Every structure is written in structure tokens, then in C-alpha cells.
Structure 1
Amino acid sequence: RRHGHNEADEPSATQPLMYAKVKKQPVAREIYGKQLIKNSIVDEDTAKQWMSDYRDALDKGEVVVDEHRPMRQHSVDWSPYIGNDWDVEYDYKVSIKKLKDLGQKITTYPEEHKLNSRVAKVYQERLKMAKGEKSMDWGFAETLAYATLVNDGTHIRLTGQDSGRGTFFHRHAVLHNQEDASTYMPLNNLGSEQGQIEIYDSVLSEAAVVAFEYGYATAEPKALVMWEAQFGDFVNGAQVVIDQFLSSGEQKWGRLCGLTLLLPHGYEGQGPEHSSARLERFLQLSADHNWSVCVPTTPAQVFHMIRRQHLRPVRRPLVVMTPKSLLRHPLAVSEMDDLADVGFQNAIAEIDDLNPKKVKRVVFCSGKVYYDLLKERREREQEDVALIRIEQLYPFPAEEVAEIMKDYQHVKDFVWCQEEPQNQGAWYSSQHHFWAAIPKGAQLSYRGRSASAAPAVGYISEHNKQQQKLVDEALTIK
């Protein structure tokens, strides 16, 4: 580098001999210009004029390098998405008839396309879900969300290490013929007027892939662009893209972007490297309504969350702590009516028939730990603790929570319960929202794992002891 680190640097301070030679070396423009003049290709005045014209163009901010190939036309009209915030209203309703029709189509494939026996069983079960004969699981609801959008002409991109089948064998959007390895995608066979859906299994180079998808999402506001980590912690490899572009691109450059990150997150005893998607990092970076951070707990919620991300006239990133064990949890199911009649719920009230007047403690929580709390409370036949789920941690849904809290203005004991260690998860970054939500004079306390340098322990036995302890402490009123 002729100027060292940058134009304000003084490289000869540490490399005097090298930069004494560099200063004597003519620049490439001079060498090339002299060669052109020597070969009578241009004269000296023309060469000087070229240099002058080039500098003038730079000063005016003009493009000085012609594109070597024509760019594909992009959807460049961003005006519908400017000035809208995350809580803007949108039309989320879908008819039962349409859902059942699309459900049939996404469970249909050519008879000669021979599936793996386990995948074939998944599709047999999904056909029952489409007919309303069986409660729907996560994979079906998610795929049905894509179908409703693609059917109406939306372009969808989904990339990730195992996005076609899903890391946890739950999606199976791309079907592989067991006899000739050919593939078939039901989502690409909905009808002649449908939009395009692209699902690619990407390489283990998270920074490169997330950066590419960020760029794509900033160029195509009419497309739903998504990246899925194989495990949530894989997003660690793309942290530079998150910090410099995704979290702050709008504030720094006025650059809108609707990229969605699907980050598997939850404590199932798989050790420190595959438990946490580092929720705390995203919450720490949350400000100015720069993105949404969601932790959906039901198939209906993921259905509405995906549709909301595209249908509402807002183009800001969506960060999702997606589940692992909840993909097949017997309680984490939804019915067809849940998809048709309501939109995404930013907070979910108590679902059991408890008498609010008898409630002595309210537990706020997000994600998988809710089902651990629910199961334990039901086994205890306990009626004095209510469970409230915060499905969107940022922007915090203060109005929805306030509506739920109307039943608990007499309660003085409030708890935030999480699986993550105390210095991780939502406790430190979101605590002020919880305090603001509870009645004046009430107390808020923490129940969860102790602070830890690592996201999780490495032994399943220790994990189980910790999990049982935090659930017990959240429910036990002394």
C-alpha cells in the first residue's frame, strides 16, 4: 500500500527502507500513460484530460466503472414500507377452505416418486392434519405458511445447512426419490399462477451466506428471505454481519431489510455448543425498533409469524428462536381454526381454567421452558400460579401484556423464568420491560440457571437436575 494503512498513516515510521523505495516508484497510472503515449495510442493532453474527467466524476459521486454485464431487474419500489412500525395492522386471515386445499397440495407428490419410509410416514400424518383429522405439528404449520404466501405470488428464499429437510427432520419441503435421487418440491407445484420458492442447502460458511442473504433482502422487498442455522449457535460465525449490517443498517444508512433468521434454541441437555442461539446478544442490540425478536411456542404461532413478516408493510429483520424438542412435543400442537381466525399473538395469557382471584404468583417466560412449567403445574394440580408467555421479546408488547395483566392487579409476586444462565437469555436485557408490566408495589424475581461463562453444562444428568430445580423454584411459593 503506497500510503500504508490509510491516507492518514505514516508507514515510513516503522518501514523506512521499504517506503523510501515506494516513494520513488511511479504510480501505475503514470507507467500506463507513458506506455500509451510512447506507442502513439494517445497524446499527453488526452491522457491528462482522462485523469481530470475521472476525478471530476468522482467528485460528483458518479459511477466511474461500467457494469460488465446487465443486472437482473429488481423490485426497487420501497415506498410501501417506509414509515411503518412493527405494530401496523395487516390482513392476516385465511379461510379454512383455502388452508385445507393448500394442505392437500403440500402433502401430494407423484406416486412414482419413492420416498424414504420415515419421510413417507411424515407425509401420511400431514395428510391427516390437512383434512383436520389430526392436530398439526410445527413442520406442517410452517410449510403451510409458505404455501399460503407462494400461492398468492410471493417469492420465497430459504437457505441453511439442512433447510430442505430441516436439521431436526421436521420440514421435508424437498423430497428425495430413493431410487434415482431426483427431487420433488410440493411447494413448487401449487398452481400455474404461484410465486417462486427457492430452498437451498448452503455451505458451513455462515458469514458468507448470511451476508449474501442480507444483500438479497435489501434488494428485494417483495421477497421473503430467510436463513436457518443448523443449530442456533452457528450464527456465531456470522456475528460480524449481524453487528455491522443487520442490527444497524437502517440507522446507519437508511437501508431497509426484511431478512429472517431461524435459530434453533432450547435446553435439551445437548451441551454448551448446541443449546443457545445467544438470545441475549440480539436483545442487547435491540433499539429503535430495529428488528423483531420472537420465541414462538406453537405451530399456529410460527404460521402467523412467518406470514406477518411478509404481509405487513414493514421491512425490518426478524430474529426467531426456533425450537428443537417442541417440533414433536405432544402439547405443542395447533388446530386449523388457530390458523384461520387469529394473527400472531405477541403475548399469550394463561390457557388453563384458573380462577384469577386465587392466583398468588404470575410467572413470565418464553420458549420451551413454558411446557416444562405447564406439565409440572398440572401434575401438582396447582391453581395459584399463572403462566404468561412472552412470544415477542422485542419490541416488547406492552399493550398486550397490560391487557393480560388486568386479571392480576392483586398479585404481588411476579417471576421471570428462563432456561438460560442468569447472565444470558432475556433477564438482563428485558428486565425493565417486566418491571414496567407488573402492578405498582409488586416484586419481580428471577428463576433460572445461575450465571455461567458457558451457555450450558456438558452432562445430561446435571442438565436435568438444573432444569427440575428452576421449574420447581418458579412454581413453589414459600
Structure 2
Amino acid sequence: MNAPTELKTAYFAGSLAYLEALESPRPSPPPDPRPAGAQPDAEVAAFCMPMLAQVGVLHLIEAWRTHGFHSADLDPLRLHEPQHLAELDPARHGLTADDLDQEFEVGNLGGPARDTLRSILSRLQSAYGGCLSAELGHVSDPQRRGWLQMRLEGPCPLPLTAGEQRGLLVQLTAAETLERLIHTRYVGQKRFSLEGGESLLPLLHEIVAWAPRLGVAEIGLGMSHRGRLNVLQNLLGRSVFDLFRSAHDDTPVDGRGGDVKYHQGFTAQVAGPHGSVRVALSFNPSHLEIVSPVVEGWVRARQEALDDLERNRAVAVVVHGDAAFAGQGVVMETLNMAATRGFTTGGTIHIVLNNQIGFTTSDPRDTRSSLYCTDVVKMVEAPILHVNGDDPEAVVRAARIALEYRMAFHADIAINLICYRRLGHNEQDEPMVTQPLMYRAIKGLPSTRERYAQRLMGEGVLRDAAEADALVEAYRQDLDAAPIAPPLPTPSQWDTFRHKTWRAPGETAVARARLETLGQALAQIPAAPFTLHPRVMAVQASRRKMASGEQALDWGMAELLAYASLLEDGYSVRLTGQDSERGTFSHRHAVLHDQNRTERDRGVFVPLQAMGQGRARFNVVNSLLSEEAVLAFEYGYAGVASADTLVLWEAQFGDFVNGAQVVVDQFIAAGETKWGRLSGLTLLLPHGYEGQGPEHSSARIERFLQLAAEDNMQIVQPSLPAQFFHLLRRQMLRPYRKPLIVFTPKSLLRHPLAVSPLEDLASGAFQPILDDDT
């Protein structure tokens, strides 16, 4: 039995039955036959009162499970005190002080099956009222909810050993000492310090350390600027040379434009006690949260490269800011992908680095309309673990639970890491100007490292403060002793495509006999009883004539032949968009539908899926109605796959690409000059002033031309099917990978003059300019 299955089945069946019984409607009580005002007999009272108390105890347990997080000790600053809800008061459930030392059945509450009310309350307080709590009321699946309750209510399955506690202190020491060292050596430089949120580092360390134990080989990591330098250095082990060079100068040595140090990505093989895992931190622009769908696309591509059908070997972990997580619409768009067939990655671990402030805005009445910044994940029923960042052991426990849950149920889960920001938004900012209340609380507050060191001294794990201080000095010495030399370059699949000219040739013609064979396969009609719509029957009949050369090729047939020939050549094809299976203008019909089917998953035929050679696959996906998140996802996917996969995103109308303008500006147009990232992503943008109004006419060619510089992307408006055929094949067959922007036609899709003979596909190549012979 594999680890995820063991995790899931560990939740015993009796607990599930108990939860279902609680959720079932209760029958109405029978009418009381006694006259009004009659008092119950003493015997009846003696019999009923214990039963009523027992019911009250069970209701109290459920109340703590649903509302206990409101009373938890979560805020290190004590600006938001725990709420004392009436639902958590035993008296609300008919219990009195006389019941405190009575024993009751506890249902499936973790621990002994019977216990005193006093002990039950203590257990509930420990499970939900401490520094780690959970918000589960929105999780409708009783199995998932019960699994989490068992993890929280029972004793910690693997409490930290003294050695692990010391290791945790070492991680906190590294996080704090690095920030202070940079602050003193490079005074006033922006680094977006992690101070106040240092527990993020042990949280990530714990996920990375436990991942191999559960079968994870790769982690796609996304985060914004806050704490990024710390993660690069203390989690991923980036060279000290890169750390200090970036502090002096962000300009790349290879002559690119470059980007600031807190946007840089990095990939490393991180070793731990249970094995090693490859962690890839995505490059990130200043536009908050846009990296989230990019990471999801990267992870999906890695899962497919690893043949990871169960989505266990590559996992997405994304670190968010509290203000951005509640405020940016791309968060909702990305969450909406979580369970969709074309975009799921089998669950994401969301970590909200909740420093309770967004730049200068910290009043929740201004930052969001929800109670918590994590409320947005309720749309996908993701459980929420709330944890106090000043309790590192609670943070580590949350990390373990989150990873195990993701692997057990292949679903999203969120950790709300509640901490604070010791300095300003950046190191040049004075936060007291706008936040005197918050920063009076922060001033003089011991750091997380200092508090944890005191705790370990109290537990006898450390002898004295000098032992903790020695860890600080040891870290400083390790940094100073590290070799200050540039690291050796790491070989990459992209090296083949670097420093190539756009004029590099590509043999894109395909032999006529091969085209005819592929064309007939594309035009086939599935055997009876599969029944096509009459209009699609006519399309397929026309395509058979095109395949034999009796009829000139239209746009849709030339496009499908390009995909079919690439698949035969061993290249995969992935096409996504809001109506890409049929095509917005009903020209593609890559997916055929049986008109008489009675089940959703039956009666679908995709001719191209049978044409791939070797590992080549064809995937066409009708996406959710999103531009920004879907295009960002495809950019992340292409960043892994476009060396051997034609990755295409199609806008429903070209006008709508401006809904994803951040992706175009920050990744597609500038990703190479900022970060050295190559991409072969192809955009198909229907364009044409054809009387359909201002929102369905222009893909804004002028905007793309303004973005074009230094051979950063290819911008093309083909007018003939053969041109489109050669263009698509050239995108893969040339040793050249740059984004391709194609302004595709609308009325020309079926125009009788916009056709190409089969021979134009069997010879020639893409022509940058077609002369007008008239």
C-alpha cells in the first residue's frame, strides 16, 4: 500500500459513521401526554438528565470543531484577541459545573473513548484553542473532515525529538541572522525582509524534508518578494557568490536586462533525512499572485513528463501574502482550476505569509470583506490551518498535516501563517508613520528565534543563552567561509536553443502521400452506432476531399494536418482555450461528439490522439472562462515542455487577450531579457474588423509591436492555410524557441479565395511576406 493510501485509510470507518449520524436529520420527539405544567417524575429525571448531558457533550465537541479556531491563540502581536463564542460555552449545551468530573462518551474525538468533561474540555482547547487550529466547517466531505480532526485531536504522531528541536532553532537562526547580516552590510538596500515571519523557513523545510517520504520527487515553489532572498539562501542553498553579487549589482553577467534580486528564481536538489527532492522556485514579477498559475502549469508539465498519472511525484507549493491573496482576482481564477481535467495538479499547498499588513494598509475593514484572508479557498472546500508564527513547533506540525492531506486526498489545503512584519514594506520605509498601533506592539517584541531559544532552555534542550548565541556565530562563520566564486553553469534542455537567429531554417514540408494518409485519418467517421451531427458530417466529408486533393484545404484542415504531422514526428501538442475543441468559429472540430450518447464520458472521438509516435500526445482542452490564469498556466507549462511540445493558447476573440495583459507584458515579452527564460508558447488571437463591434474585432496588433524588441517574440498574421501549416511546424522544427503571436482570421477561415492546394503543404516553407501578384 502506498503512502497516500495509508494516510487516507488511517481514518477508521467508525468515525465516518459517527459523523454521518450527526449530520442526519433528527426525528421530532413524540408529544408529551402529561398535562401542562406537570413535573416529571424523579425517576424519569434521573434517567433523562445523564442522556441530555451526553448529547450536550457531543454537541459541544462539534461546536469546538466548527468554531474553535475563533478562540485560538493565533496572533503574535495580540492585536486580535481570541473570541469567546457562546457556542463554545458548556452551559450553552446544557452542561453545568456538576458535570465537570462526570465521564461521558466522546464519539470519535481523538483519545480515550470515555473521559470526564473537564478532560474533554482540555483536549478540545489543546486541539483547537492553542497556537494551531483548523477551519473545517466548509468542508462537506465527512471523510476529509474526519481525517483532519483525527490529526488535530489526537496526540502529535511524531513529536519532535530534542535533536529536531535544535534543528528547528538552527533554521530560525539562519533566517534571522541572514536578514540582520544583509541589513548591516548593505544598509538601506531593499530586500523585503522576512523578519517577523521567520517561521516560513522551517515550514518550507518541513515540507521539503517530508516530501520524499511520501513519494514526492519534485516541488514547484512560487512566492512573491517577501522573504525570497532567505528562501534562496537558506532553503535552496544558492551560492554565497550570487547572494552578495546581487546585493552589489543586479545586472546579469550575460548582458541581459536582468531583474531585481528579489524576483530571481532558482532550482536545487535539496537533501533531507528521507531523501532528496528537486525544488524549483519560479521567477516572479512584481505583479502579486500572477506566479500562482505559472507554478501550476510548471507542475502539470512535470507530472506529464514523469508519467505521473496519480499526481504524486510533483507537487505545487505557493506562498502568498495576506493582502494579495484576498485582493487579487487571479487567485480565484487559479483556485477554479484546481479540479478541472485540463489544469488540475492534484492539489496545491497554499501558505499565506500573513503579516497582517499590505504595504501601509492593515485595517481589515480596508483590506477585505471577509473575516480571514484565507476565506477565498472555501470556494474549493480547501481546509484552512491557522497557526501562530511565533510557535515554530505548531508551524512544523501544520506543514506535516498539510502535506499528508494533499497526498491523501489530492486536493488543495491552506496554511494561514499568522506573523508580523518587523520592518517597513521595504527597508527604506518607516511604518510608524501610518501604523503606530501595530508598530508599538512590534517594538521590543522578542524575535521568534529568541522566544524559541528561551522555550528550549526551559525544557532543558539548551543549557543556556550562550549555546543559542553560538548558533548565530556559527552561521555567520559559515557564510564568511563559503567560496566567493561564481557557480558552474547547470546544463539545460534549453541550451540547444540559445543564441540562435530567427532566420534559422526549418524543413516544414511534408510528403504528399503522407499528407493524404494523415488527412484521411483526420476525416474518418467513427463506426456505428456513433452518430455525428449533420453539420459535422458535412465537414468530415469535405475533409476527405481535401485529403485526396479533390478540394483545396481550408484553415481548419491545414491546422489539423500541422498537428498530425508534428505528432508523427514525435512532438506533443497541447491546445487550450475557451472553445478550442470545436473552435469559436466552428472551424476546427478536433473533438467529435456522438449525438446519441447517454453518458458524459462516452461518445467522444479525437482523431489526433491516435497519431502520436513514441511519447507524443495530443491534448485539446476547453478551458474555464479565464484569460489571465489560463495563459499564465500555459506559460508555466511551456517553460517545461515547449522544447518538445507545441503549446498553444487560443483567445475566444483576440480582443480578450488584454484580460491577460500582465502575462503578456511580464512573462511572454520580457521573460527572456529579465530572467533568461526561453519559451515556445504560441498565442492564437482571432482578429479582423468585420462589423462585430469594438470588443470582437481587434487583437491590438499595435500593442504587440510596441512590446517587440531584441528578437523577444515572433508576430505573424498569416492569410493562407499553407502559411499557417508551415508556421506551426516551424515553431517546433527550428532550433529556435521564442513566443509566437499569431493573428488568426475569422471570415477567412471559410473564404473561397483563402484556401491552399495540398501541394503547398508538400513543398515550400513559411514566407515572411507574400507578394501580391495582381
Structure 2 length as normaliser, TM-score? 0.42
Candidates 11, 16, 23, aligned match of 2:443? 23
Q: Which stretch has the larger CA shift, 20-29 or 241-250? A: 20-29
> Is residue 108 of structure 1 aligned with residue 524 of structure 2?
yes
Counterpart in the other structure of 1:134: 551
1:114 to partner: Cα distance: 2.2
Letter matched to residue 423 of structure 2: H
Question: Would you say the 8 A contact 2:682–2:740 is kept in 1?
Answer: yes
Counterpart in the other structure of 2:662: 240
1:302 to partner: Cα distance: 0.7
Using the aligned pairs only, state the percent identity.
53
Counterpart in the other structure of 2:427: 7
Deviations 1:104-132 (A, max 9, x none): 11122421332222122211111111111
Distance 1:91 1:31, change over 3 A: same
Question: Would you say the 8 A contact 2:568–2:613 is kept in 1?
Answer: no
- In 2, distance between residues paired with 1:238 and 1:217? 16
Candidates 79, 98, 109, aligned match of 2:514? 98
Q: Which stretch has the larger CA shift, 274-283 or 20-29? A: 20-29
- In 1, distance between residues paired with 2:503 and 2:615? 28
Letter matched to residue 619 of structure 2: E
Deviations 1:271-290 (A, max 9, x none): 11111111110000111111
SS at match of 1:320: strand
Gaps of 5+ in 1: 62-74, 353-478
Question: Would you say the 8 A contact 1:282–1:293 is kept in 2?
Answer: yes
- 1:335-354 equivalences under 5 Å are 335-352=757-774
Counterpart in the other structure of 1:173: 590
Q: Which stretch has the larger CA shift, 41-50 or 115-124? A: 41-50
- In 2, distance between residues paired with 1:58 and 1:176? 63
Letter matched to residue 98 of structure 1: R
Question: Would you say the 8 A contact 1:76–1:219 is kept in 2?
Answer: no
Distance 1:145 1:47, change over 3 A: farther
Deviations 1:1-31 (A, max 9, x none): 3323222211111222221112233333434
> Is residue 202 of structure 1 aligned with residue 618 of structure 2?
no
- In 1, distance between residues paired with 2:479 and 2:518? 54
Candidates 725, 735, 738, aligned match of 1:303? 725
Letter matched to residue 108 of structure 1: Q
- In 2, distance between residues paired with 1:58 and 1:340? 62
Candidates 566, 583, 594, aligned match of 1:149? 566
- In 2, distance between residues paired with 1:52 and 1:124? 78
SS at match of 1:293: strand
- 1:384-395 equivalences under 5 Å are none
SS at match of 2:628: helix
SS at match of 2:443: helix
- In 1, distance between residues paired with 2:479 and 2:607? 50
- In 1, distance between residues paired with 2:579 and 2:719? 22
1:50 to partner: Cα distance: 6.4
Q: Which stretch has the larger CA shift, 272-281 or 118-127? A: 118-127
- In 2, distance between residues paired with 1:337 and 1:318? 25
Question: Would you say the 8 A contact 1:206–1:237 is kept in 2?
Answer: yes
> Is residue 85 of structure 1 aligned with residue 515 of structure 2?
no
Counterpart in the other structure of 2:154: none
- In 2, distance between residues paired with 1:98 and 1:241? 38
- 1:389-408 equivalences under 5 Å are none
Counterpart in the other structure of 2:581: 164
1:316 to partner: Cα distance: 0.4
- In 2, distance between residues paired with 1:208 and 1:167? 20
SS at match of 1:91: coil
Counterpart in the other structure of 1:214: 635
1:135 to partner: Cα distance: 1.0
- In 2, distance between residues paired with 1:36 and 1:165? 63
Question: Would you say the 8 A contact 1:109–1:186 is kept in 2?
Answer: no
- 1:44-63 equivalences under 5 Å are none
- 1:311-330 equivalences under 5 Å are 311-330=733-752
Question: Would you say the 8 A contact 2:509–2:726 is kept in 1?
Answer: no
Question: Would you say the 8 A contact 2:612–2:618 is kept in 1?
Answer: no
1:337 to partner: Cα distance: 0.5
Deviations 1:358-384 (A, max 9, x none): xxxxxxxxxxxxxxxxxxxxxxxxxxx
SS at match of 1:275: coil
How many residue pairs end up in the alignment? 339
1:178 to partner: Cα distance: 2.1
Who wins on radius of gyration, i.e. which is larger? 2
Deviations 1:385-417 (A, max 9, x none): xxxxxxxxxxxxxxxxxxxxxxxxxxxxxxxxx
Distance 1:55 1:306, change over 3 A: farther
1:47 to partner: Cα distance: 5.5
SS at match of 2:493: coil
Letter matched to residue 195 of structure 1: A
Q: Which stretch has the larger CA shift, 18-27 or 31-40? A: 31-40
Distance 1:45 1:239, change over 3 A: farther
Letter matched to residue 102 of structure 1: L
Question: Would you say the 8 A contact 1:106–1:190 is kept in 2?
Answer: no
Candidates 680, 683, 708, aligned match of 1:286? 708
Question: Would you say the 8 A contact 2:585–2:746 is kept in 1?
Answer: yes
- In 2, distance between residues paired with 1:258 and 1:57? 41
- In 2, distance between residues paired with 1:168 and 1:223? 25
* 4+ runs deviating over 4 angstroms: 40-61
1:177 to partner: Cα distance: 2.2
- 1:417-456 equivalences under 5 Å are none
Counterpart in the other structure of 2:684: 262
Letter matched to residue 622 of structure 2: D
> What RMSD over aligned residues (CA atoms) do the two structures have, in Å?
2.4
Which of the pair has the greater relative contact order for Cα pairs under 8 Å at 6+ separation? 1
1:33 to partner: Cα distance: 4.2
- In 1, distance between residues paired with 2:741 and 2:470? 52
Deviations 1:16-73 (A, max 9, x none): 2221112233333434444444344566677657667778899979xxxxxxxxxxxx
Letter matched to residue 141 of structure 1: A
Counterpart in the other structure of 1:185: 606
Distance 1:131 1:16, change over 3 A: same
Distance 1:56 1:257, change over 3 A: farther
- In 2, distance between residues paired with 1:214 and 1:196? 18
- In 2, distance between residues paired with 1:327 and 1:336? 16
- In 2, distance between residues paired with 1:280 and 1:166? 25
Deviations 1:58-117 (A, max 9, x none): 9979xxxxxxxxxxxxx9411221111111112122100111111111122421332222
Letter matched to residue 311 of structure 1: L
Counterpart in the other structure of 1:360: none
SS at match of 1:159: strand
SS at match of 1:124: helix
1:140 to partner: Cα distance: 0.5
- In 1, distance between residues paired with 2:545 and 2:634? 35
Distance 1:289 1:21, change over 3 A: same
- In 2, distance between residues paired with 1:286 and 1:81? 19
- In 1, distance between residues paired with 2:670 and 2:758? 38
